[in-house]
Amino acid sequence: MGHEHKHSVLSGEPEADEEQEKESPLRPRLLSEFQGQAAIKDNLSVFIRAARNRGEALDHIFISGPPGLGKTTLAGIVANEMNAELVMTSAPALDKAKDLAGLLTTLKDHSIFFIDEIHRLKPAIEEMLYIAMEDFELDFVIGQGAGARTVRIPIPPFTLAGATTKPGRVSSPLYTRFGITLRIDFYPVEELCEIIQRSAGILNIRIDDPASRLLAMCARGTPRVANRLLRRLRDFCQVDGRPQIDEELTRKAFQRLQIDEAGLEHQDREILRAIIEKYHGGPVGVETLAIAVGESADSLEDFYEPYLVQAGFLQRTARGRLATPRAYSHLGIPLVHSENTLF
Ligand code: ADP
């Protein structure tokens, strides 16, 4: 949703509405279709069943994790499983108090109100949300100046689903008002294989096991990336006139897309190379690094770094970013030439 970041083909962010549109048949609608993340699914299904049995709205849910791992999907699933309506927005779209009030007053009993990038809420909006979350009421200012007065309007009991890629930036008064917190992590290869097979079935394409595994290994632990790469493989397969996607075709396609065996794309390698060659392996501040590679600090932090950290190429420290020995060997740069004395 409404991200203004620049990003690459492989970053977790949807490129445009069109891309999201294409994703929609692949988006799981029910908990049983959501692959992997067993712990999250198990807990969620208990909470959903309990709330349904009591005839109550589900407790507010906080969903964190890197882009493309299924935060929006989970909110949609919760709405479907609760038989409730889903109302979606994102924090940057809530500019004025009336923007939030306008949405809150349209909610129905047990509606799921999804706010993406919830770490970006303005303080005044956040205050309004506290009362809505806790008391299901809305403070409304009527009139202006000395004659202004506040009235409280009741709103239906709803579930706030707040999603963020940066849980550390969410204020603690907001965070503690969520009864359920879900942290989605990168998917292991086996779970990505299941997602790829499910998507291939829906898209009516055939991909053999070795190709599916190779794709899963290069998908940065991210379902959205896996689905996007699967569509590209379908293009190559179609143009080549082959009956199914096999390992050879996948390797060739990845070469052309400049994706290496670790799932890194061109820009990931540029980031690592910049740290090593321009800043002696680091530490280098995120703002400085962002300028060096022509990205915004936000897109660096949200889209590139989480996977580079998890795959062991990058370390985030209080003093800045460091390239790990694995980054040196991956790029074929000898570690001894660096002045980085930390390793
Ligand atoms: P986020 O909101 O975290 O950025 P999304 O919920 O938009 O991510 O997920 C991106 C896409 O990845 C979805 O459209 C869906 O097709 C796919 N996806 C995500 N998680 C799963 C999953 N657990 N199982 C199957 N597909 C998934």
Confidence bin at 143 (pLDDT 50/70/90): confident
Known catalytic membership, residue 268 = no
Q: Contact at 8 Å (CB) between 170 and 115?
A: no
CA of 304 to the centre of ligand 1 (A): 18
Known catalytic membership, residue 183 = no
Total H helices, total E strands in the chain: 15, 9
Confidence bin at 2 (pLDDT 50/70/90): very low
Work out the average pLDDT over 75-85. Answer: 97
The type of residue at 311 is A
Q: pLDDT tens digits for 94-126? A: 999 889 999 999 999 999 999 999 999 999 999
Catalytic residue among 27, 73, 116, 232: 116
CA of 70 to the centre of ligand 1 (A): 3
Residue 223 Cα: closest atom of ligand 1 = 12
Work out the average pLDDT over 296-312. Answer: 94
Q: What is the pLDDT of residue 7?
A: 38
Q: What is the pLDDT of residue 24?
A: 84
Q: Contact at 8 Å (CB) between 64 and 167?
A: yes
Work out the average pLDDT over 171-178. Answer: 97
Q: Contact at 8 Å (CB) between 44 and 27?
A: no
Angle, CA 304 vertex, CA 168 and CA 224 arms, to 5°: 95
Work out the average pLDDT over 309-323. Answer: 95
Distance CA 87, CA 192 (A): 29
Confidence bin at 140 (pLDDT 50/70/90): confident
